[in-house]
Amino acid sequence: MADPIVPKRIVLLGSTGSIGRQALEVVELHRQRFAVVGLAAGGNYGLLREQISKFRPEKVCLATKLGAAERGEIESLGCEMVTMEEMVQQEDVDLVVVATGGKAGLSPTLAAIRARKTVALANKESLVMAGEIVVAEAQRHGVEILPIDSEHSAIWQCLRGEMQRIPGSLDTISRLLLTASGGAFRDRKLADLAEVTPEEALAHPTWKMGKKVTIDSATLMNKGLEVMEAHWLFGVPYDRISVVLHRESIVHSLVEFVDGSVKAQLNRPDMRFPIQYALTYPERLPNSFAKLDLAETGKLAFADIDYGRYPCLNLAIRAAQRGGTFPAVLSAADEEAVSMFLTGRIGFLDIPIVIERVLDAHKGMEKPGIDDIVIADDWARREATRVARSLA
């Protein structure tokens, strides 16, 4: 008789966001494999309430303040209200899925690592803001960081069999190639971009994602952030990480080895594939997701990035190379600029202007601690608001 399956006990941070909702789809598909013991959300109480009813977690966190009636409703379902940091440190937690957006993911990520929990990471900002600190803590505590972003999951899968751990030896790697769709305006004339609306920017040609990452895809800021993530996750120097345009979003990234061989990871543009891989690792399990049909796809095209179309990518690479607090400032300024664009306070072409002016005004610190990074983040947000007002 086969041994009974012991469910993996998971905490999901950012459960009501795009990645969080899809992660719960994966959990529901493999209910016997997982037990959801903690859910944390931003402000969508209605959806969180539905998730609690379905998955019955023991711990719950909502970033916005709850009224007495709502708190009583959650507690009546047998849930304890805790902070994200408290949630991830529970003794019986096996896997922490960090799917929150922005800097909110940094503190619980570090708390999970220090509690020696495996972390499945979809939060870009944790590594962009404090990659050196996060990776050092993971190594010190013997914790695996499992990437959920499709590009980094692809690289991770390409390296399985080549290396025994992340990060591993770099001796056989020539370079990493991250693919980029080019976003909603990849075929729009540059002269027309001044008048584009948030609705147009959110109409991604291949992916269905959250608002922030979709706008970052239109500016290609997301690819700059992903270059930083790849650097920290895999220990590869920036000069050995490249970006290539790939419209179909079928090849999610590639690894070129020193002998000239190239490995690529392919699947349809559906985030449930990398999410499931991280949740079920080291196993691969079947699913009902629509599979890739190469004959139907017909062809896969690649091209160099036109950096003149994407100033945000240039700004991200520049901040990455400067290091210290500059990546945190870049990330915070971008988050504020995207928010202001989505609410109509600045135009699409103002996004890189705001970010560049904030970076130019920043006096960086080379070896920041967490407190220094938080201070730089707060300063960048205030400065971005000030710059945006000057553009009005």
Mean pLDDT on 221-241: 96
Alpha-carbon distances, residue 57 vs 87, 112, 182, 270 (angstroms): 11, 18, 39, 26
Is the pLDDT score of 338 beyond 80? yes
Mean pLDDT on 379-389: 97
β-pairing verdict for 173-180 and 118-121? unpaired
Tokens of 80: 């304890």
- Terminal-to-terminal C-alpha distance of the chain: 71
> Residues 6 or more apart from 172 whose CB is under 8 A from it?
162, 257, 258, 259
Is the pLDDT score of 2 beyond 70? no
Is the pLDDT score of 120 beyond 60? yes
Q: Which of 59-68, 310-319, 331-340 has the lowest mean pLDDT?
A: 59-68
pLDDT, position 368: 97
pLDDT band at 165 (very low <50, low <70, confident <90, very high): very low
Mean pLDDT on 84-107: 95
pLDDT over 90, % of the chain: 84
pLDDT, position 343: 96
Mean pLDDT on 127-156: 97
pLDDT, position 75: 85
pLDDT, position 73: 87
Is the pLDDT score of 166 beyond 50? no
Q: Which of 69-83, 97-111, 123-137 has the lowest mean pLDDT?
A: 69-83
Q: Which residues of 69-95 are buried (b: 16+ CB within 10 A; e: fewer)?
A: eeeeebeeeebeebebbebbbbeebeb
CA angle 68, 71, 74 (to 5 degrees): 150
Mean pLDDT on 198-210: 87
Domains of the chain, CATH where assigned: 8-143 (3.40.50.720), 185-219+307-392 (1.10.1740.10)
Helix (H) or strand (E) holding 176: strand 173-180
pLDDT, position 263: 97
Is the pLDDT score of 77 beyond 90? no
Q: Which of 48-62, 82-96, 158-172 has the lowest mean pLDDT?
A: 158-172
pLDDT over 70, % of the chain: 97
Tell me the pTM. 0.94
Helix (H) or strand (E) holding 35: strand 34-41
State how far the Cα of 60 lies from the Cα of 45, in Å rounded to an integer. 11
pLDDT, position 70: 83
Is the pLDDT score of 4 beyond 80? no
Question: Rounded mean pLDDT of the chain?
Answer: 94
State how far the Cα of 143 lies from the Cα of 119, in Å rounded to an integer. 8
State how far the Cα of 201 lies from the Cα of 216, in Å rounded to an integer. 9
